[in-house]
């Protein structure tokens, strides 16, 4: 086994022994390396070497040595009971059999954007999908679409519209595989045929369909050997077959509240933009959004009825300034950068259509607007009378009438003028 393999093996093992985002664990790996950390947890039962205790303490910015000893010892107490169940070879083989594997930070396909997590970056990523992790899309091509489990019809509808347009522009939809908004996001993304994928899409020209980046990625809180929640099994099986599943925990690990919470930080870090479609006042989706905002990622929230408890979390994000309002796919894509937004302009919704429409009196100056208001609709009026009614000089009236006539807003009737048909 070479160095790279030993590191992979050690990280696979540690991902079973240590909870996600266990900072003491991550500090130990940062200080001593994955292999030494793995040896320390699994190899013997004595206390950790003093030098490592000190270095871990310093990394955790935790001044006192006695406290540090306590922390690393407490960590060993947490990790060691699980060592009996630790079998990296078995876990790696399980994932290989399921058409997956392990990605470690030293691999070329490792998402560099996890650096934004600092010490909280994951030890490794277990994956499962149609293609290997080398086809993970670039940072700017990843958009998280997340929200409530108990989504409303409104939320599901918005999610479907967003996800379909976003995928059609070549962006991968990332979510958490849960019921509700997550499920609808994955489902819709899978339903976008490769023929719908735009020119800016993930296809390399001439490359076979198999090289396409996944349309959707589910970031899971538990091990990838099972599909959780059970009601999404069929959907997640399709995500695994056509998109990708990733997790930082080893196969066989059950999803827990803590792991869901920590999974959210991975979604936030992985994607350049996160859009919350529906969320209650307290919702895991808000954690994801806030962590994303803290890391300087773009965050959008979809507004909804003020009477819907499922939009209360979105409005909360808007009010606290963690998110901008996103009302259609074009605005979601804007979060990924201007260029992409322009490419997608055609798919924009009602707002853009209304925006584009102009009214006959747009661009008139104040005097012509006053004149237009003074023009009678049914009878006709003389320029002198118009001057009085509009409060304009006679020169302004005569010039204005000709400009309004050009736009079809005024028309001559004998010696007088009336409102035009436009």
Residues of the shown chain interacting with a second copy in the complex, contacts defined by CB under 8 A: 17-19, 22, 74, 77-79, 81-82, 84-85, 154, 157-158, 256-258, 280-282, 302-307, 309, 311-312, 314-316, 318-319, 324-325, 327-328, 331, 349-351, 354-355, 359, 361, 366, 369-370, 372-374, 384, 387-388, 391-396
Cβ distance 333 to 299 under 8 Å? no
Comparing CB distances to a second copy, the nearer of 8 and 316 is 316
Q: Whose Cβ is closer to a second copy: residue 42's or residue 113's?
A: 42
Q: CA 383 to CA 81: how far, in whole Å?
A: 96
* Shorter beta-carbon distance to a second copy: residue 2 or 77: 77
How far is residue 359's CA from residue 93's CA, in Å, rounded to a whole number? 66
| The token pair that represents 70 in the structure block | 């306590």
Distance CA(286)–CA(293), nearest Å, equals 10
Q: How far apart are the first and last CA of the chain?
A: 81
Element (H, E) at 124: none
Token digits of residue 50: 């003093």
Q: How far is the CB of 326 from a second copy (least distance, A)?
A: 8
- Angle among Cα 183, 185, 186 to the nearest 5 degrees reads 65
Q: How far is the CB of 156 from a second copy (least distance, A)?
A: 13
Rounded least distance, CB 207 to a second copy, Å? 36
Nearer to a second copy among residue 361 and residue 411 (C-beta):
361
Report the distance separating Cα 101 and Cα 30, nearest Å. 23
Tokens coding 278? 């529906």
> Considering beta carbons, is residue 49 or 81 the nearer one to a second copy?
81
**Which lies closer to a second copy via its Cβ, residue 113 or residue 381?**
381
Map residue 397 onto helix, strand or coil: helix
Question: Least distance (Å) from a second copy to the CB of residue 129?
Answer: 27
- Strands 324-325 and 298-301, how do they pair? parallel
Q: What is the DSSP string of 165-229?
A: HHHHTTPEEEE---TTHHHHHHHHHHHS-GGG--TTSSPPTT--GGGSPPSEEEE-SS-TTS-SS
Nearer CB in complex with a second copy: 138/395? 395
Q: How far is the CB of 282 from a second copy (least distance, A)?
A: 7
Q: How far is the CB of 252 from a second copy (least distance, A)?
A: 12
**Distance of closest approach, residue 391 Cβ to a second copy, in angstroms:** 5
């Amino acid at each position: 086994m070479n160095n790279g393999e030993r590191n992979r093996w050690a990280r696979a093992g540690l991902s079973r022994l240590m909870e996600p985002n266990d900072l003491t664990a991550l500090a130990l790996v940062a200080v001593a390396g994955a292999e030494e950390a793995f040896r320390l947890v699994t190899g013997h039962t004595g206390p950790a070497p003093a030098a490592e205790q000190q270095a871990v303490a310093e990394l955790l910015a935790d001044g006192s040595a006695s406290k540090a000893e306590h922390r690393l010892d407490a960590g060993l107490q947490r990790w060691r009971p699980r060592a009996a169940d630790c079998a990296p070879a078995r876990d790696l083989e399980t994932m290989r059999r399921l058409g997956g594997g392990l990605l470690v930070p030293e691999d070329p396909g490792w998402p560099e954007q996890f650096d934004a997590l600092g010490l909280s970056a994951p030890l490794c990523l277990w994956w499962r999908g149609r293609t290997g992790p080398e086809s993970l899309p670039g940072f700017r091509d990843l958009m998280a679409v997340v929200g409530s489990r108990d989504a409303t019809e409104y939320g599901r509808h918005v999610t479907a519209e967003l996800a379909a347009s976003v995928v059609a522009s070549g962006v991968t939809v990332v979510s958490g595989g849960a019921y509700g908004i997550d499920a609808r996001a994955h489902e819709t993304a899978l339903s976008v045929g490769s023929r719908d994928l735009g020119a800016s899409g993930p296809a390399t020209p001439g490359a076979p369909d198999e090289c396409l980046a996944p349309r959707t990625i589910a970031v899971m809180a538990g091990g990838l050997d099972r599909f959780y929640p059970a009601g999404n099994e069929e959907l997640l099986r399709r995500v695994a077959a056509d998109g990708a599943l990733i997790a930082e925990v080893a196969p066989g690990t059950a999803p827990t509240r803590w792991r869901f919470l920590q999974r959210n930080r991975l979604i936030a870090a992985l994607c350049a933009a996160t859009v919350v479609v529906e969320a209650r006042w307290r919702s895991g989706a808000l954690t994801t959004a806030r962590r994303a905002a803290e890391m300087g990622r773009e965050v959008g929230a979809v507004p909804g009825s003020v009477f819907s408890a499922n939009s209360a979390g979105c409005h909360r994000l808007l009010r606290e300034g963690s998110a901008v309002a996103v009302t259609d796919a074009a605005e979601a894509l804007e979060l990924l950068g201007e260029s992409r937004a322009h490419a997608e302009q055609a798919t924009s919704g009602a707002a853009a259509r209304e925006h584009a429409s102009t009214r006959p009196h747009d661009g008139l100056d104040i005097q012509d607007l006053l004149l237009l208001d003074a023009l009678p609709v049914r009878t006709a009026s003389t320029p002198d009378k118009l001057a009085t009614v509009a409060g304009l000089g006679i020169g302004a009236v005569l010039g204005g009438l000709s400009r309004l006539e050009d736009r079809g807003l005024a028309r001559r009737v004998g010696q007088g003028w009336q409102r035009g048909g436009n």
